[in-house]
Structure 1
Amino acid sequence: MSAIDDIRLQVMWNRLISVVEEQATTLVRTAFSTSVREAGDLSAGVFDPSGRMLAQAVTGTPGHVNTMAEAVGNFMAEIPTDEMHEGDTYVTNDPWLGTGHLHDITMVSPSFLDGVLVGFFACTAHVVDVGGRGFGADGKSVYEEGIQIPIMRFIDRGTVNRDLVRILRQNVREPNQVVGDFYSLAACNEVGHRRLVAMMREIGLATLDGLTDFIFARTRAAMAERIRALPRGAWSNALMTDGYDAPIPLAVRITIGAERIHVDFDGSAPVSRWGINVPIIYSKAYASYALKCVVAPDIPNNAASLSFFTVSSPPNILNAARPAPVSLRHVLGHLVPDLVLGALAKALPGQVLAEGAASLWNIHLSLRPVAGGEGRRAEVLMFNSGGMGARPGLDGLSATAFPSGVHTMPIEATEQTGPVVIWRKELRPDSGGDGAWRGGLGQIIEIAAEDGHDFDFSAMFDRIDNPAHGRDGGGDGAPGGVHLDDGTRMRGKGWQHVPAGRRLILTVPGGGGFGDPAGRDPAAREDDRRKGYVTGESA
């Protein structure tokens, strides 16, 4: 292959990335749910005819992208390629075949050029409601957590499955939002298909085979070089989480070999009776992401790069089988990177960031008028982030969604979705762990219903009893907390009630510090004090 051929293929690879970026942008711009439209809780990608991910959109979360990379193969196992047609789109929210819980809708669409299957487009988004108990940890099985959609046709040769739409409308609290998001997901894949076909016609490609070989060959070579540079051996780590009503330990052992890294979650807690369990597809997604952040952050994320990471686990809370409740699989799933990075830090001392808040502090609000009053009901989902752990040579980012990568939801957008008022949303002083490099700050958030309303809320919080630990001598981040404005302490997980006139206050945890605090630059300490990041003795 000549240098000109290489350049041409690289340009085509870049074009493919722009295709999936437009695919994701379509979903963001047309979505009904604020979690998609404002926070980017989604993924989009293009796959070859064998179901291998070629490219992903930058917009999206590792939990969605990396599970979607495996999910397309599950779709193909259920619907053979000889039964696929132009204009089809398939759908599921199966937690074990999709992305880990029922609230995520995954759609896959075959892409045909002149009657020949040339690839697939897939996308995932979190919808506001799937019925059942609602978004929370209180279910005892997946059957209580909402409607389950097996892998099936949402669009058959251009015709929407109206029966599925009718079933959806009868099973969810926000039918217009949910059905609207279904159509947005389908449109997202359709835009990707149109752009891909236009690109192939312009360039004169009949298939993506040559480009696929180029992408995977370059990726494999780069990944193999990174793996060879790592130390060989096995390292373990343990991490304690708050659990639902009792602490829950997580454990990991990583083994670095000559050609791959293996992750094993043996030793983690048994499957929980509450909806905080994690299907293995989601645990694998975040374990792979954690490894890639340290080993190969600059190498494209596709089937070739992901193939260097393998994950195993006996049945336990990080490998929960059906019908375990899994609604809040993200809470422990978002702690998997800290768990894995803690082991990797032993193999690569001084190179791995400290623990952070990790788990998103999502809150689902079910608002309604008080008895006998007038007003509107609404289901409102709000995403909040704590502090990121300090990094070698850099302070931790404040109020940042690592590892999930979702955006902060503007309070103006949240308040438009229901009778809710966000009275306060600000950085939390003194919440970042001390160190040569300071941990990121958490937040203080104060929430109330509009006059004449009260609300129930689903708490989905962790690191209240088990704060983020510092690394290499750095201090721990501040733990989180949940209480009412009258001082009443609330639980970290589960559905709870806030009476009319009361305010709910969230103190979101901070990230751990990195390195000996004695080594912090005095100018950095003064800057922290001046900005109000630290106060009093902490300064």
Structure 2
Amino acid sequence: MSDLSPIDLQIMWARLIAVVEEQAQTLLRTAFSPIVRECGDLSAGVFDLDGRMLAQAVTGTPGHVNSMAESVKYFIERFPVETMSPGDIYITNDPWMGTGHLNDFVLTTPCFLGDKPVALFSCTSHLMDIGGIGFGPDATDVFMEGLYIPFLKLADGGVLNETLMAMIRANTRLPVDTEGDVYSLAACNDVGCKRLAEMMGEFGLESLDVLADHILTRSREAVLAEVARLPQGSWSSEMVVDGYDAPVRLACTVTVSETGIHVDFDGTSPQSPRGINVPLSYTTAYTVFGLGCVVASGVPNNAGSLGPLTVSAPEGSILNAIKPAPVASRHVTGQMLPDVVFGALRQAVPDKVPAEGTSCLWNLNVRGVAAAEGGNYGFTMAVTSNGGTGARPGKDGLSATAYPSGVKGTPVEIAEAVTPLVFWAKEFREGSGGAGRDRGGLGQRIEVESRIGQPFELLAAYDRIEHPARGAEGGGDGAPGYVGLASGAAFRGKGFQMVPPGERLVVLTPGGGGIGPVEDRDPARVAADLEAGLVPAEGATQAGE
């Protein structure tokens, strides 16, 4: 149909976004892994037959969505659209062609209207255990990190690949959860296909071609219009983070031109021998998300809006790691990239960017023995948590908030139900936000202990311990993070470590940086901080701890 009015097309576009949101909500409601069903560590979207993302669900994380946006093209290369049949489902967890590490399964399902393919639905979720050394940074190559699934058919014409499912079940400590998560992903795409067919029938559409062109053209134009408001030129910045056993330098040059924004990470450290490396797809995902937050926060995410935002990084650098580099904890590096980009953009548009924050997730990746129950082997869980975000121009940073990942914190009640652990404390870390005219967000103080008298492992993947979030324009730095035992022994920020029975694990997540001199802070805001117990009396007018 070529006679659709702009109003018709806008209504259909909104409806398409509702379709993919229902797709994501299906995954959220049916997932077995708590990190998905409680915290939203997932993505869902619809693509045209050329592999261009038309709409993504609001529910989801940038690292999944923006890297999944590229992975569908690899599925089409391996399984051309003309060879697809109703009931086919495709699967991979290839870090370089998926979402950056083996723990994320990507499923893609063709959607048919009658016997004609009209679209592709794709989704991703994080699975807690896929074998190997486990979800931590200690491996020295990707093959140590777990089961590696190339591009395969999970279902052929509606018939499940039982051999593949048996291989998946046999290579995980959580076979029940892992199998359930795969079915959840498949169901999520099925719902998307069903709702799209209903929508197309309702509007009398035989294809999505006209709607796709409208979505992508309008989105691209909207982003370019926002880019045109920025000064043109190039700005550079760099940031040092803790790394695994040596500091890592993250450097970028941001170039704004009439055709878009390009970020080049030349000057960044070489790839690491441990699993904190980042495939380029994940580097791109979080970089363009950071750009989008500043430039096009009101434009829906799709291939059109992402097109003017481009990224490059030297091959073999930590931000463009080459297979078989270990990448399990790619988030601990990759989620820092919006802060690096903001450092450059601050020189061009200082009123639009925040100070540095904790940025990388401070998950409690815990593993241990437990009573045999339901077919799993012990327990493995990522208890999601975070520190403070950086102050924003005119606003304080957000406390205990996962930016840029966007995942929610795991409720203590869920963690205690799923694991034999007890949480003795989970509270704001007073004074941890960097002081300033606008204060950085606060981190958390968490204390955990085994309640069955058994040790448990911490698969640590933390940063901002040696290099805390920096303040901007005279604002104070955020407090550094800390992990150790209540008895006084400090843990390393990265790597597998054992918490002995009877000991409490203590985690202090970092604070975000402040903006502007603290002397310029409104006295009413100082009083409110004091009344809420967010800062100590002696720290109300000075930097955090």
* TM-score in terms of structure 2 length: 0.96
Report SS of the residue matched to 1:224: helix
8 Å contact kept, 1:136–1:460: yes
**What is the CA-CA distance between 1:34 and the residue it aligns to?**
0.1
Instruction: Report matched runs for 1:313-462 at 5 Å.
Output: 313-315=313-315, 316-368=317-369, 377-462=378-463
Question: Could you tell me how far apart the structure 2 residues matched to 1:207 and 1:4 are?
Answer: 13
Structure 1 residue 377 displacement after superposition: 2.5
Q: Structure 2: how far apart are the matches of 1:393 and 1:37?
A: 34
Q: How far is the alpha carbon of 1:114 from its aligned partner?
A: 1.7
Q: Does 1:87 align with 2:94?
A: no
Shift in Å, 1:230: 1.2
Given the superposition, is the C-alpha separation of residues 459 and 221 from structure 1 closer, same or farther in structure 2, using an over 3 Å criterion? same
Q: Does the 8 Å contact 2:530/2:536 carry over to 1? A: yes
> Quick one: distance in 1 between partners of 2:220 and 2:311?
19
Matching residue of 1:302? 302
Report the CA distance between 1:527 and its aligned residue. Answer: 0.4
CA distance in 1, matches of 2:152, 2:448: 40
Matched-pair contact (CA < 8 Å) for 1:463–1:509: yes
Match of 1:161 in 2: 161
Query: In 1, Cα distance between the equivalents of 2:437 and 2:306?
Result: 34
In the alignment, is the contact (CA less than 8 A) between 1:431 and 1:442 conserved in 2? yes
Assess if the C-alpha contact under 8 Å between 1:367 and 1:449 holds in 2.
no
Letter in 2 for 1:410: P
| Superposed CA offset, 1:123-182 (max 9, x none) | 000001010000001000001000000011111111111001111111100000001000
Residue aligned with 1:346, SS: coil
State the match for 1:51 in structure 2: 51
Partner in structure 2 of residue 489 of structure 1: 490
| Matching of residue 32 in structure 1 with residue 44 in structure 2 | no
Change (3 A) 1:138 1:380: same
- What stretches of structure 2 of length at least 5 have no aligned partner? 541-545
Q: 1:261 is matched with which residue?
A: 261
Matched with 1:467 is 468
Residue-by-residue CA offset, 1:421-455 (whole Å, 9 max, x unaligned):
11111111000011111100000011111132210
Equivalent residue for 2:278?
Answer: 278
**Maintained 8 Å contact 1:262/1:310:** yes
Give 3-state SS (helix, strand or coil) of 1:486's partner: coil
Q: Hey, what's the Cα distance between the residues in 2 that align with 1:93 and 1:538? A: 47
Amino acid at match of 1:97: M
For the structure 1 residues 392 and 96, does the alpha-carbon distance in structure 2 shift closer, same or farther, using more than 3 Å as the test?
A: same
Question: C-alpha separation between the residues in 2 aligned to 1:241 and 1:4?
Answer: 52
Q: Does 1:250 align with 2:250?
A: yes
Once the two structures are overlaid, the 10-residue window that deviates more, 197-206 or 222-231, is 222-231
**Partner of 2:346: helix, strand, or coil?**
helix
Which residue of structure 2 lines up, in the alignment, with residue 538 of structure 1? 539
Helix, strand or coil at the partner of 1:177: helix
State the match for 2:481 in structure 1: 480
Question: C-alpha separation between the residues in 2 aligned to 1:144 and 1:71?
Answer: 23
Corresponding residue of 1:137: 137
Amino acid at match of 1:241: V
Worse-matched range after superposition: 319-328 or 257-266: 257-266
1:222 matched to 2:202: no
The secondary structure found in structure 2 opposite 1:43 is strand
For residues 376 and 348 of structure 1, what CA distance do their matches in structure 2 show?
52
Please give the alpha-carbon distance, in whole angstroms, between the structure 2 residues aligned to 1:4 and 1:80.
Answer: 30
| Alignment-mate amino acid for residue 90 of structure 2 | Y
Which amino acid in 2 is paired with 1:445?
Answer: I
SS at match of 1:405: coil
* Whole-angstrom distance in 2 between the partners of 1:487 and 1:522: 37
Q: What do the CA deviations read for 1:11-70 (whole angstroms, capped 9, x no partner)?
A: 111110110010000000000000000000000001111110000000000000000101
> Partners in 1 of 2:293 and 2:377 — Cα distance?
44
Mapping for residues 171-250 of structure 1, pairs under 5 Å: 171-250=171-250
Maintained 8 Å contact 1:46/1:55 = yes
Question: Residues 205-242 of structure 1, C-alpha deviation per residue, up to 9 Å, x if partnerless?
Answer: 00011111211121122112111121111111110000
User: Aligned partners of 1:213 and 1:142: how far apart in 2?
Assistant: 39
1:387-428 deviation per Cα after TM superposition (whole angstroms, max 9, x unaligned): 010100111010000000001110111111121111111111
- State how far apart, in whole Å, the 1-side matches of 2:280 and 2:516 are: 34
Distance in 2, matches of 1:39 and 1:115, equals 37
Query: Is 1:519 the counterpart of 2:520 in the alignment?
Result: yes
**Partners in 1 of 2:111 and 2:79 — Cα distance?**
15
Within 1, Cα distance between the matches of 2:4 and 2:198? 22
Query: C-alpha displacement at 1:350, in angstroms?
Result: 2.8
Counterpart AA for 1:72:
V
User: More deviation in 1-10 or 511-520?
Assistant: 1-10
Q: CA, structure 1 residues 99+519, in 2 after alignment: closer, same or farther (shift >3 Å)?
A: same
Aligned residues of 1:376 and 1:418 also touching (Cα < 8 A): no
Name the CA distance, whole Å, in 1 between partners of 2:364 and 2:140.
20
Is the CA contact 2:173–2:378 (under 8 Å) kept in the aligned structure 1? no
| Alpha-carbon shift at residue 369 of structure 1 (Å) | 5.8
- Over residues 495-514 of structure 1, what are the superposed CA-to-partner deviations in whole Å (9 max), with x where a residue is unaligned? 00011010100000010011
Q: Distance in 1 between matches of 2:257 and 2:5?
A: 34
Q: Following TM superposition, by how much is the alpha carbon of 1:376 offset from its aligned partner in structure 2, in angstroms? A: 8.2
Residue matched to 1:73: 73
Separation in 1 of the partners of 2:355 and 2:418?
A: 36
Pairwise CA distance, 1:310: 1.1
TM-score (norm. length: structure 1):
0.97
Report the residue type matching 2:58 in the other structure: V
Paired-residue identity, %:
53
Secondary structure of the corresponding residue to residue 166 of structure 2: helix
Letter paired with 2:339:
D
Contact in 2 for aligned 1:350/1:472 (Cα 8 Å):
no
SS at match of 1:320: coil
Secondary structure of 1:211's aligned partner: helix
Distance across 2 between alignment mates of 1:411 and 1:276: 27
In the alignment, the residues of structure 2 paired with residue 520 and residue 389 of structure 1 have an alpha-carbon distance, to the nearest angstrom, of 16
- Report deviation, 1:345: 0.8
Question: 2 CA distance for matches of 1:325 and 1:486?
Answer: 33
The answer to whether the Cα contact below 8 Å between 1:369 and 1:452 also exists between their aligned partners in 2 is no
Change (3 A) 1:376 1:9: closer
Q: Tell me the residue number matched to 1:149.
A: 149
Report the AA paired with residue 182 of structure 1. Answer: V
The Cα of 1:351 is off from its aligned counterpart by 2.2
Displacement after TM superposition at 1:312 (Å): 0.9
Tell me the CA shift for residue 2 of structure 1. Answer: 11
Q: 1:369 to 1:152 in 2, by over 3 A?
A: closer
Equivalent pair of 2:370/2:420 in contact (CA under 8 Å):
no
Deviation larger for 73-82 or 498-507: 73-82
Amino acid at match of 1:168: I
Consecutive unaligned residues in structure 1, runs of 5 or more: none
1:73 shift after superposition:
0.4
Could you list the structure 1 runs, at least 4 aligned residues long, displaced by more than 6 angstroms after superposition.
1-4
